[in-house]
Amino acid sequence: MAKLKRPPRKSTRNAHVRAHPAKRRTRARAPAVPDFLSLQEIVAAARRNLSQDLWNHLTGGADSETTLKRNRLALDSLALRQRVLVDVRNIDITTTLLGKTLQSPVFLAPVGGLVGFINPEQGAIPVARAAVAHGAAAFISTAAKPGFEAAAASVQEPLIFQLYVRADRKWVEDILDRVKAAGYRALCVCVDRNYYGRRERDIISRAAVREGFGDPSFQMGLQWKDLVWMKQRIGLPLIVKGVATAEDAKLSVEHGADVVYVSNHGGRQLDHAQATIEVLPEVVAAVDGRAEILWDGGVQRGTDVIKAIALGARAVGLGKLLGWSLAAGGEAGVKRMLELMDVEIRTAMGLMGVTSLAQLNPSWVRPAQPTGPAGVTSAYPWFEEKK
């Protein structure tokens, strides 16, 4: 990475307007219809299309980015076992989430603010469309543009809504009523963002993002009892996102969670946290089959997905990779990314001698020595060499 240069001194007057990444559009080029043959090509195209500020905001993590790097290092520290002379002509990569069959074990994670910066005109709409077309799940955030109701209206399948609490109970109740009316099929409450992580790539470049709406102090005061009344109010399945310990996994189930979502916000919140793939087994043990489990954290490859499924996840979330594919080719780029993910998953399963996700369990992974340093794009060696 190029050395950071000290920026020239600027007036702080109206800095909140000048510094916001949404005001700094991507470079003036419309993404061509993608003909990508690998995920690496998608990441490279995103890097070309994004301004430095948007690339930093999408790609970076909190403070020293230790959590971000640990997410990747922990995945690289697991090896897959393989069996031979198995008939692998037919491989099933379907899974289920809350009773609905998904054609792929990946879902598009709730990165509403990010997709709004990358695609200000349509925001989450191409994300929703790409997911539904692929038979995958999509999470739409409170911060999504042009709004969570517009995203829901753009597709014929129900989506999943993620809530950030930014005002009082009356505001939350109004949001929940609108979510139910818009046809969402589940409520996901983000519980690991009571403070906004210090993302120094943004801070140093003077492109720090302020909270986009509402008062973050309401999120700071969120408690377990609040999840109970939210679920009662909306009458939909509850997903608790941001769980990173066995203790909180148990509490989630005790307070009505139908799904426990293991996540550390892609390393963008608490620095020096554990990697999510490291805590996944303890969460699985604590939940003990009483809820379904989702997981994300540094996913760059189909083999990452297989490792998480083997350790107990029902499906795996794509965050940064979603942003990169949207920047690389819009809705078509997201569709192509999902297709390539499926290709990688099927290929790896076939080489392992596995014909369905149901066959995967912890016996299929082993500790291993990483082959190089971990970084946000270290899973793409060609991209690293060309950067």
Q: Catalytic positions, please?
A: 265
- Where do we find the tokens 């983000």? 190
Which tokens sit at 384?
């690293």
Cβ neighbours for 11, distance < 8 A, ≥ 6 positions apart: none
State the helix-helix crossing angle for 320-352 and 52-59, rounded to 10 degrees.
50
CA distances 287 to 63, 74, 312, Å, are 31, 22, 11
CA distances from 251 to 236, 292, 336 (A): 19, 14, 38
292 and 137 Cβ atoms separated by less than 8 Å: no
Handedness of CA 240, 308, 359, 341 (dihedral sign): positive
Which residues are CB-contacts of 213 (< 8 A; sequence separation ≥ 6)?
A: 142, 143, 166
- DSSP structure class, residue 40: H
Dist CA 251 CA 353 (whole Å) = 37
Q: Quote the tokens at residue 263.
A: 């996540």
Residue 18 tokens read as 């000048």
Six-digit token pair at 208?
A: 């720090």
Helix (H) or strand (E) holding 348: helix 320-352
Write out the two tokens for 166. Answer: 């930014």
